[in-house]
Amino acid sequence: MGYVDLHLHTTASDGVMSPSEIVRYAKAKGLQAIAITDHDTIGGIAEGLEEGEKLGFEVIPAIEISAEYSPGSMHLLGYFIDTHHPLLNEKLGELQKARAERNPRMVEKLNRLGIQITYEEVLKASGGGQVGRPHFAQVLVEKHYVRNFQEAFDRFLKKGAPAYVDKFRFAPKEAIHFINEARGVAILGHPNTLGLNGYSAMEHLLLELIQDGLKGIEVYYPEHSSSEIAQYKSLAEKYGLLMTGGTDYHGIEKNGLDIGVGRGEMKLPYSLVEALKMARNQS
């Protein structure tokens, strides 16, 4: 059996490869299956599935939803979602609306900081998909206001930076609910970004999310340390949660990170996908 990557972005959100490109790339790399997990949008799924069918390559329809949480950020992954589900589409529509209101405000803030940037330039950078901060970063780099992508975030775009504008997010419970309604398997993405300290804080949160319908944790992730991986694994075993993993490849990387392998440390067996399928069939 081959290897898989269950966390990938395309041009439908803030990745640089189109859905069909990423499917072809994954196949060329020798992977057995991938999941397309764009932020807050299913806009890339149809194209990805179609390319997969054409090539005889397994593509899992999925999504990554940003949920309301502090002190850090919470991303909920939904695997095998039914992309035609009305509630899912209604909720994603609300997120699109929130972005449409937020993005021009970020342009205004940048303009007030003396940066000449237009919304049209950002739209162009997005390539027609959903617009996000990475597209702002790209324009700032292209126009030489910053030297690189990371500097754009650090100086202007990250939370608390002068051009940052917050956007509406669903409560975790609501995001998990509509993932489940759309027959998706809800997984807590990269728990190390939650800003939680220690095992018991993590355990407490997980118990709450399990009540809300969470089915698993993304254990394997390039930014997880080996002790974090051990902690998430032990909690998953304790509560019978699924364990997933992926690289979160956007194509704009980041110290040699690549699809499927991360920085060389990742080997995610196809059995992760089989476990997700079993969970889906049980609910």
Sole window of 155-163, 164-172, 234-242, 244-252 interacting with Zn ion (rule: CB under 5 A):
244-252
Q: Tell the residue number behind the tokens 């899912």, with chain if given.
A: 88
- Beta strands, E only, the chain: 4-8, 33-36, 58-67, 74-79, 185-188, 216-220, 242-245
Summary count for the chain: helices (H), strands (E): 10, 7
The yes or no reply on residue 75 touching Fe ion (CB under 5 A) is yes
DSSP conformational letter for 3: B
Q: Return the number of the residue (51 or 64) whose C-beta is nearest Zn ion.
A: 64
The 63-92 site mask, x for binding Zn ion (CB under 5 A), equals: -x----------------------------
The yes or no reply on residue 190 touching ligand AMP (CB under 6 A) is no
Sole window of 126-134, 171-179, 195-203, 255-263 interacting with ligand AMP (rule: CB under 6 A):
126-134
Of 7, 27, 91, 133, the one binding ligand AMP by CB under 6 A: 133
Min dist CB 43 to ligand AMP, Å, is 14
Of 14, 38, 47, 258, the one binding ligand AMP by CB under 6 A: 14
The yes or no reply on residue 248 touching Zn ion (CB under 5 A) is yes
Residue nearest to ligand AMP (CB): 132
The 183-222 site mask, x for binding Fe ion (CB under 5 A), equals: ------x---------------------------------
Residue nearest to Zn ion (CB): 248
The yes or no reply on residue 51 touching Fe ion (CB under 5 A) is no
Q: Are 62 and 34 in contact (CB under 8 A)?
A: no
Residue type, 135: H
The yes or no reply on residue 215 touching ligand AMP (CB under 6 A) is no
Helix, strand, or coil (residue 5): strand
Residues 6+ apart with CB under 8 A from 86: none
Give the DSSP letter string of 35-81.
EE--BT--TTHHHHHHHHHHHT-EEEEEEEEEE--SSS-EEEEEES-
Q: Which does 153 bind (CB under 5 to 8 A by kind): Fe ion, Zn ion, ligand AMP, none?
A: ligand AMP
Q: Return the number of the residue (7 or 133) whose C-beta is nearest ligand AMP.
A: 133
Residue type, 171: A
> How many residues of this chain bind Fe ion (CB under 5 A)?
3
Nearest partner of 128 among 250, 14, 46, 251, judged by Cα:
14
Residues 6+ apart with CB under 8 A from 215: 185, 186, 187, 241, 242, 279, 283
The 63-102 site mask, x for binding ligand AMP (CB under 6 A), equals: ----------------------------------------
Min dist CB 112 to Zn ion, Å, is 30
Structure tokens given for 173? 């419970």
Q: How many CA atoms lie within 13 A of 123 on its CB side?
A: 5
Contact set with Fe ion (CB under 5 A): 14, 75, 189
